[in-house]
Amino acid sequence: MNGNYPNPPPGKRSLRDPYADWWDKQERRNFGEPLHEDNDIYAVFSTDTYSHFTPGWGAVLLGTFVASVFGLCAIIRPFYPDKPSVPRTFPGGLDRELGGKGAMLARSDGTDV
């Protein structure tokens, strides 16, 4: 107790019944009900407790998503054009345009891919 003020047991008010007959419907508390000293933590608009999924089920969902993405990539890969059908060639290999002798040449007309 803080002085003579009663400290009620901790509990998030967002988990209380929203359809009950509360005096303060937004904060889900009755008139004269003592506040916990950590009211900012237990109020309705404080950070909510996460109770949607267990960690195991979350891992299953994440694994399913990753497997689906990699499966879709494996299906699309054979059909995805990663290089042009016919590589572009240049007469003379663009020797002069790329900097002269010793420069890395572009593919010339007679070279195979």
Which pLDDT does position 8 carry in this prediction? Answer: 87
Quickly list H helices, the chain. 39-42, 55-76
Mean pLDDT of the chain: 82
Q: Is this prediction's pTM over 0.75?
A: no
3-state secondary structure of 53: coil
Q: What is the mean pLDDT of residues 19-39?
A: 90
What pLDDT is recorded for position 59? 96
Are the C-beta atoms of 49 and 15 separated by less than 8 Å?
yes
**Residue 75 — left, alpha, or beta (φ > 0 → left; ψ -120 to 50 → alpha)?**
alpha
Whether the pLDDT of residue 109 is over 60: the answer is yes
- In the three-class reduction of DSSP (H, G, I as helix; E, B as strand; rest coil), residue 80 is classed as coil
Chain centre distance of CA 53: 16
- Residue 1, pLDDT > 60, answer no
Report the alpha-carbon distance of residue 66 to residue 1 in Å, rounded. Answer: 51
- The answer on pLDDT for 23 being more than 80 is yes
Query: What number is the average pLDDT over the span 81-110?
Result: 70
- Give CA–CA dist 91/107, Å, rounded: 9
Task: For tokens 């590589």, name the residue.
Answer: 87
Greater model confidence, 46 or 102: 46
Q: Express each pLDDT in 43-85 by its tens digit.
A: 888 877 777 888 999 999 999 999 999 999 999 988 887 776 7
Residue whose structure tokens are 């900012």: 40
